[in-house]
Structure 1
Amino acid sequence: MNRLAQMTATVAGVGYLRPAPGTWGSLAALPMAWAFHTLGGLPLLALAVVGTFIKGIWATKEMTRGSDDHDPSEIVIDEVAGQFIALLPLSYASWMHGIDILAMWPGWIAAFALFRLFDITKPGPIGRADRRGDALGVMLDDVIAGVFAALGVIILAGLWHGVFEQMLAQ
């Protein structure tokens, strides 16, 4: 097995943690996303999404070559890509408005919880992508789950800042 592909796909071995390797992969993505955002703001985090997606397809193909299992549980690079996407709205708000990204900690919790919810339940297009049975499907279902989670973060932020804060202020 290609050692570099294995290290990439398992995110330096995080995918071997039990139980729930996907959750561990999502948790590992949080400090990585913070580092990318801190070093280069939204543009660097967005570039990390693209790079992770591309590397993930390659690493998944390498790790599953000759195997009947197209999505072994130790492959968690897909969770990292999806979690990065779920955090993009926070990175955008921080980058555009000069807010400390860690000050938006409720958004981090929402992004994590929503991403895990969509990744585990696989509603609609997430499930269809997962059923592709190839490396692209492995990555794509988490990308779509990340988009769903990002939209959820935006909706929750809008409700909190646009509705509930106004109600509390009265």
Structure 2
Amino acid sequence: MKDTWAKITATVFYVGYMKPAPGTWGSLAALPLALLIYWIGGFWLFLIAIPAGYIKGYIATKWMTEGADNHDPSEIVIDEVIGQWIALLPVFFGAYWVNADVLGLWPGWVAAFVLFRLFDITKPGPVGWADRKDNATGVMLDDVIAGVFAALFVVLLAIIWHVFLL
């Protein structure tokens, strides 16, 4: 039972087995999940879902990789989901702050997705440092950092758009 729960969680309902590029599929799966959480409980539930998902993902990743040679198998995509959610935080906060339709902020969704994938794939600086840790912390942490970088760039792009281009 523990193994089944860990596999469902770590692979995000088996999305991690989709080929090619399971990490990209995991990031794509994060989008409707984020929207569902937002629609159910608003910005604050979404905000709470990130650390809750991180903890659940860490435990599932640890169980799936315990004793294995590969500590970051490609089918584990819960880390991409959490990183993608972090990248979406500025978009969801913006919708909450101005009481806008979150889907109306679609350019922010696109920017968050593209930027997160860019940082997750290229692994600059601290993203690469975290990725080189051969444990569940490294699996989860590199995507958290990539998500933070992406979120910061989403904010920067929003400032440029709303202050200088509108």
1:148-169 CA distance string (max 9 Å, x none): 000010000100111111xxxx
Name the residue aligned to 1:36.
Answer: 37
- The amino acid of 1:13's aligned partner reads Y
Name the residue aligned to 1:168.
Answer: none
Name the residue aligned to 2:66.
Answer: 65
1:99-123 CA distance string (max 9 Å, x none): 0000000000000000000000000
Q: Secondary structure at the match of 2:72?
A: coil
Task: Give the CA deviation at 1:41.
Answer: 1.6
Name the residue aligned to 1:110.
Answer: 111
Task: Give the CA deviation at 1:69.
Answer: 0.3
C-alpha distance in structure 2 between counterparts of 1:109 and 1:157, whole Å: 12
Q: Secondary structure at the match of 1:2?
A: helix
C-alpha distance in structure 2 between counterparts of 1:134 and 1:46, whole Å: 25
Name the residue aligned to 1:23.
Answer: 24
Where does the alignment leave 5 or more consecutive residues of structure 2 unmatched? Answer: none
C-alpha distance in structure 1 between counterparts of 2:7 and 2:40, whole Å: 27
Matched ranges for 1:1-170 at <5 A: 2-165=3-166
Q: Give the alignment's TM-score, normalised by structure 2.
A: 0.98
Q: Secondary structure at the match of 1:75?
A: coil
1:116-159 CA distance string (max 9 Å, x none): 00000000000001111100110000000000000010000100
Task: Give the CA deviation at 1:37.
Answer: 1.2
- The amino acid of 1:91's aligned partner reads F
Task: Give the CA deviation at 1:8.
Answer: 0.3
Aligned-pair Cα RMSD in Å: 0.8
Q: Give the alignment's TM-score, normalised by structure 1.
A: 0.95
Task: Give the CA deviation at 1:42.
Answer: 1.4
Task: Give the CA deviation at 1:43.
Answer: 0.8
Deviates more, 1:101-110 or 1:31-40: 31-40
Identity of aligned residues (%): 61
C-alpha distance in structure 2 between counterparts of 1:107 and 1:85, whole Å: 13
Q: Spell out structure 1 runs of 4+ moving beyond 6 A.
A: none
C-alpha distance in structure 2 between counterparts of 1:73 and 1:164, whole Å: 40
